[in-house]
Amino acid sequence: MPAYVVAMMSVTDPDTYRKYTDRTPPTVRKHGGRFLTRGEPVTTAEGEAYPGRMVILEFPSKAHVDAWFADPAYEEAAVFRHAASVMHRLLVQEGGANTLDPDPKL
């Protein structure tokens, strides 16, 4: 089952951050992932406006996500992200099987 990565960033140094974004697509592809969104505008439907950058990725499984995070090429790229942004990274581990008629108690 697919696993999803939701990354929400506050970019403090766009030039350095670009060194990260230039390097990540090949590492995502290498591990079977794909970008569902990559920094497109975010519209806040409820609550406080979200001012940051958001990226959502889909991978075939959590194991693929773990392999991506551990890939030396990704770790090298992440140095630039750490230097240029503050990030919250969420992992939705393999969505539930009952998506058409979900249990209302969950």
- Among candidate residues 95, 16, 104, 14, the one with its CA nearest the CA of residue 56: 95
Residue 52 burial (C-beta neighbours within 10 Å; 0-12, 13-18, 19+): middle
Average pLDDT, integer, range 50-63: 94
Comparison of pLDDT for 57 and 102, the residue scoring more = 57
Is-contact 62 91, C-beta < 8 A?
yes
Question: What token pair was written down for 20?
Answer: 């990260």
| In the predicted structure, residue 99 carries a pLDDT above the cut 70 | no
- In this prediction the pTM is 0.85
The C-alpha angle 62, 65, 70, rounded to 5 degrees, equals: 130
CATH of domain 3-42+52-92: 3.30.70.100
Q: Residue 100, Cα to own-chain centre: how many angstroms? A: 25
Q: How confident is the model at residue 1 (pLDDT cuts 50, 70, 90)?
A: confident
Percent of the chain with pLDDT over 70: 90
Confidence (pLDDT) at 92: 87
Tens digits of residue pLDDT in 61-76:
999 999 999 999 999 9
| In the predicted structure, residue 60 carries a pLDDT above the cut 80 | yes
DSSP 8-state class, residue 104: T
